[in-house]
Amino acid sequence: MQIEQQIAEIQNIVDDVLKMALSKGATQAEASMSKVQGIAVSSRMREVENVEFTNDGGLGISVYVGKHKGSASTADLSPQALALTVEKAVDIARYTSEDPCTGLADKELIATEFPDLDLYHPESLDTEKAIQIAIEAESAALEFDPRIVNTDGASYNANLGMRVYGNTHGINAGYPSSRYSLSCMVIGAEGEDMQRDYAYTVSRRANELRPAHEIGQEAARETVSRLGARKLKTANIPVLLHKDIASGLFGHYVGAISGGSLYRRSSFLLDKLGQQIFPEWLTIEERPHLKQGLASSNFDHEGVATHDRTIVENGLLATYLYTTYSARKLNTKSTGHAGGIHNWLVGDTGDSDQAMLNKLGTGLLVTELMGQGVNGVTGDYSRGAAGFWVENGVIQYPVHEVTIAGNLLDMFANIQAVGANRDTRGSIQTGSVLLDNMRIAGS
């Protein structure tokens, strides 16, 4: 069956479910439904390890009975299960309290245009070919260096799916998408020391994944480079966050400017709209309609249209991120961020990788962060780290078992430079980030 036909069928189900909700006493309702089919194949020691056929789907519905809300969801899409799910949602709305802010998104914000974002590039889900690709990556890693003694394997994933959203304001829209990824993790040893690292590639198009042998070689190179890691003495030093892990820093910013944290007064960026948070040269743009973007979408999880938006302008906190509910709690309008952000592009200072190391001078290049030691209420930050000691812009030796600590407000303000070479594999695209003066705890 053609994907357009499948989407039309799901739109019919969503339509039925919404009608059913109204007939059961809801005054408003919204439903979303997704279906994803795929394969997940892994190899270990150049042999097939797992072949998984994935097939996930579900329907979620929220109903509003006046200003009372009820939600229910099901992974079972049989007609009986769908009916039960609607009934349950209506039933729950009898018990939730009246809440003046609850309800569907404002009608005038709902998406009406649905340009093709080029997110769907189907390939036949061929497990034999997937196995070959995984084994090729793993072989390249195992052959890279004699110190690569073991492997955690390589895996290839392909997913084809669709998402449909509808509500009783009249929107009922769906789109298909595809996602392919290849990753490889290997283990290196030298004496008593054993280390692992990984590499991966992800794309909407299977033929735009990086070549398998490159992924394997990168995993091996990074693993070997970690052997012989040392601790550092406790000190205050500059830190360069490698581009592969730097997006996490802006991830904390997402949490802190989200409406939910604001109306709960649980953010260190409360009451800071329009204020200087980052250095003046730093700008963050949101581009929801990037062709083939990994976080592209015409509408958010409430059907609200997404728009290009400047998130940080000349270092100023240009906008908070609202869902319909958090916007109403704070007397404003949704910004289309129900379900998260859409392709952030972090502005850079034009520095190459080597220029970033030169700007770091002497300090710690961080390539791995561990743990959840970030307090979104206070901005206090303390995480485990591993990476490389750098002197005069030259990598000296690997480092592990240290922590880096500070406060996010200070860290944001003290960003010295952002590299031009971006990691494009996530919803936040940024280069490496140079931070002045972090507290390192070690021996």
Partner 1 sequence: MSNNVERHLLAESGLDLDSLNKALGQIHHHDNDYADLYFQSSQHESWVLEDGIIKEGSYNIERGVGVRAISGEKTGFAYSDDISEESLIKACHAARSIAPDGGKVQISGFQAQPYQSRYDNDNPLLGMADAEKIALLKSADAYIRQQEPGISQVVVSLSGVYEQILVAATDGTLATDIRPLVRLNCSVLLEQGDRRERGSAGAGGRHTYSFFSSDDDGRPYYEKLADEALHMARVNMQAVASPAGTMPVVLGNGWPGVLLHEAVGHGLEGDFNRKGASTFSGRIGERVAAKGVTVVDDGTLSGRRGSLSVDDEGTPSQHNVLIEDGILKGYMQDKMNARLMGVAPTGNGRRESFAHLPMPRMTNTYMLAGKYDPSEIIATIDKGIYAPNFAGGQVDITSGKFVFSSAEAYLIENGKITAPVKGATLIGNGPEVMQKISMIGNDLALDKGVGVCGKDGQSVPVGVGQPTLKIDELTVGGTA
- Does 9 bind partner 1 (CB under 8 A)? Our answer is no
Beta carbon of residue 65, minimum distance to partner 1 (angstroms, whole number): 12
The contact mask relative to partner 1 for 298-337 (x = CB under 8 A, - = no) is ----------------------------------------
- The CA distance from 17 to 170, in Å, is 13
Name every residue whose Cβ is closer than 8 Å to that of residue 114 and which is 6 or more positions away in sequence: 173, 175, 298, 299
One-letter amino acid at 65 equals V
Among 234, 275, 362, 421, which residue sits at the site for partner 1 (rule: CB under 8 A)? 234
Q: Tell me which residue has tokens 């490698």.
A: 242
Interface stretch with partner 1, choices 48-56, 136-144, 242-250, 279-287 (CB under 8 A)? 48-56
Interface stretch with partner 1, choices 287-295, 344-352, 370-378, 421-429 (CB under 8 A)? 370-378
Which of 295-310 are b and which e, b meaning 16 or more Cβ less than 10 Å from the residue's Cβ?
bbbbbbbbbbbbeebe
For partner 1, the binding residues in 95-124 under the rule CB under 8 A are 95-99, 102
Strand ranges (DSSP E) for 45-116? 47-65, 68-74
Among 27, 34, 73, 424, which residue sits at the site for partner 1 (rule: CB under 8 A)? 73
- By residue count, the chain amounts to 443
For partner 1, the binding residues in 380-399 under the rule CB under 8 A are 380, 382-384, 386
- Does 249 bind partner 1 (CB under 8 A)? Our answer is no
Beta carbon of residue 431, minimum distance to partner 1 (angstroms, whole number): 25
- Does 50 bind partner 1 (CB under 8 A)? Our answer is yes
Cα dihedral 295→297→302→306 (10° resolution)? 100
18 or 282, CB closer to partner 1? 18
Do residues 32 and 163 touch, judged by C-beta distance below 8 A?
yes
- Does 225 bind partner 1 (CB under 8 A)? Our answer is no
Among 112, 352, 362, 378, which residue sits at the site for partner 1 (rule: CB under 8 A)? 378
Handedness of CA 362, 432, 285, 377 (dihedral sign): negative
Do residues 429 and 421 touch, judged by C-beta distance below 8 A?
no
- Does 129 bind partner 1 (CB under 8 A)? Our answer is no
